[in-house]
Amino acid sequence: MSRAYKISLKQRTKHGLRASDEVGTALELLEILPPERMADLLAQELKRRGFVQKGDKLLRTEKGGVTVEIDPKSADVIVKVECEKTVTIEAERQTWTESPAGSAQNAARKSLKEELQRDLQRKAEAQKAELQKRATDRLEAQLSDLRKELDQAVNRVTAEALKEKAARLGQIKQISEDAQTGSLTIVLEV
């Protein structure tokens, strides 16, 4: 009668996981003034809204680690989020063999170790997928509020550009703005 020998392996690993997501778009600025002046007006408005100049770009970090990057010259917008997380993953596997030592046990141990590595890899990938989902959810949550704010900024830039253009065309007699509707009326004497 043969005896069965249990082989058990347990492993715990730490993984540093990173996930990121980004969305790119462009602001729709009307070409009321020369491009350099429109870029200046956009940069001024964005700075009033908390953006900080970094090289040629304006940056602002939102809650949840979402970063908004705007190039005032091209009006390109990149909204991105990055998440990092360190996780400890463990897995355990066991098998039985009829040999207490030798090649049969070594082969069983090797096979068990390979299965254990696959388990750890699957668990790490599942954790990374969850982190990626959270990053994307965080980005999506910020986009609607950001879209409204950037639309308001574009409206302000357009209004300022129209005022400058009107002043070049003649003497401004009256300006009336409705902040609620965004309407702007300029009366000129040419």
Domain boundaries, position 184: 5-189
Report the greatest alpha carbon distance in the chain: 112
The amino acid at 7 = I
Q: What is the pLDDT of residue 9?
A: 82
pLDDT at res. 95: 79
Interval 23-34: pLDDT, tens: 999 999 999 999
Report the pLDDT value the prediction gives residue 2, as an integer from 0 to 100.
Answer: 64
- Residue 119 in this model has a pLDDT that exceeds 60: yes
pLDDT per position as a tens digit, 31-66: 999 999 999 999 999 999 999 999 999 999 988 788
Structure tokens at 27: 């602001």
Cβ atoms of 77 and 21 closer than 8 Å: no
Beta bridge partners of 9: 93
Q: Considering its fold, how many domains does the chain have in total?
A: 1
Average pLDDT of the residues in 182-188: 78
In sequence order, the β-bridge partners of residue 96 are 6
